[in-house]
Amino acid sequence: MAEVKGPKGSPTIDMTPMVDLAFLLVTFFMLSANFRSDEPVVVDTPSSIAAEEIPKNIVLITIDKGGRVFYGFTAGEEARKNLLIKMAAKYKVKLSQDHLKKFSLLTSFGCDVHQLPQYLDLDPEARKKTTGSIPTDSTNNQLKDWINFGNIEGLAAGKIKFEEAADKDPEVEMNEFKPKFILKVDGKALYSHAKNVIETFRDLDLNNLNFVTSLEANGEK
């Protein structure tokens, strides 16, 4: 009977399957991840049972705890540039090409349109520290113009997309490409703050609004 001998080499573990697994997971998360977009404020949205996802072409109004109002527009860089050109023309704000470029990459912002050049000159971290808000009071309702021009630009951008899609599939409807109006409100904000913004929308005859909510955790209630 031969004696059973243990293996001679060092007792290393074969890590190949582990590496395989780890990289598989890395790949999965890399592909499935959609990063948090850089927002000027953290907003804690209330939860609801709503299951609709946020559409692509939106005018997003963010209201934080203290009632500051932010404006975002996601119809694409070109549309954002056009929007700013219109706003600047209306409020007679002088902007450089560099400002336009920066604005076209901005997700959401909160400041008076007259301070926009200075705001755009700041770097993204410094912008978060500003305390501005988009004026919504009736004497100086800049939000109304932002929304109105956003709607016009959003419709134009949506129309181009719609025509492209209609070439491939004649059954698509224009409605899907129209800009939607989204309110992202902090749960702790006073409703009267939101109401100001809602009234602005209603003044423009835009009555179909959407509230951003997080998905209700199961068994929470």
Partner 1 sequence: MADMGDSGGGQSGGKKRAKKGSTRVDMTPLVDLAFLLLTFFVLTSTFSKPKVMSLVYPAKPKPDQVVDAQAQKINNAITFLLSENKIFYYEGEYYSAGNPKGKPATQLKETDFGPSGVRKLLADKNKSVIIGKAKLKAELDSKKIQEHEYLDGLKELKKADEALKVLIKTDDKAICKNFIDLVDELRIHEIGVIAPVDLLASEYELIKAKTK
Is residue 185 near partner 1 by the rule CB under 8 A?
yes
187 lies in the binding site for partner 1 (CB under 8 A): yes
Question: Binding of partner 1 at residue 190 (CB under 8 A)?
Answer: yes
CA distances from 114 to 92, 133, 146 (A): 8, 12, 13
Residue 35 vs 123, nearer CB to partner 1: 35
* Residues 90-149 contacting partner 1, CB under 8 A: none
Bridge partners of 61, per DSSP, are: 71, 183
- Could you say which of 1, 2, 15, 42 contacts partner 1 (CB under 8 A)? 15
Query: Which helix (H) or strand (E) element contains residue 29?
Result: helix 16-32
90, 128, 159, 195: which one binds partner 1 (CB under 8 A) = 195
Minimum CB separation from partner 1 for residue 7, in Å?
10
Residue from 168, 207, 219, 220 touching partner 1 (CB under 8 A): that is 207
Is residue 168 within 8 Å of 87, Cβ to Cβ? no
State the nearest-atom distance from the C-beta of 124 to partner 1, in Å.
17
Q: Which helix (H) or strand (E) holds 80?
A: helix 77-91
Alpha-carbon distance of 217 to 221, in angstroms, equals 8
Is 6 a binding residue for partner 1 by CB under 8 A? The answer is no
Are 88 and 94 in contact, with CB atoms under 8 Å apart?
yes
Residue 59 makes contact with partner 1 by CB under 8 A: no
Question: What count of other Cβ atoms lies within 10 Å of the Cβ of residue 212?
Answer: 17
Round the CA-based radius of gyration of the chain to a whole number and report it: 24
Interface with partner 1 by CB under 8 A: which range of 16-24, 90-98, 138-146, 157-165?
Answer: 16-24
Pick from 5, 6, 34, 97 the residue near partner 1 by CB under 8 A.
Answer: 34
Q: Which residues bind partner 1 (CB under 8 A)?
A: 8-10, 12, 14-16, 18-19, 22-23, 25-26, 29-30, 32-36, 45-55, 63, 180, 182, 184-195, 198, 201-203, 205, 207-216, 221
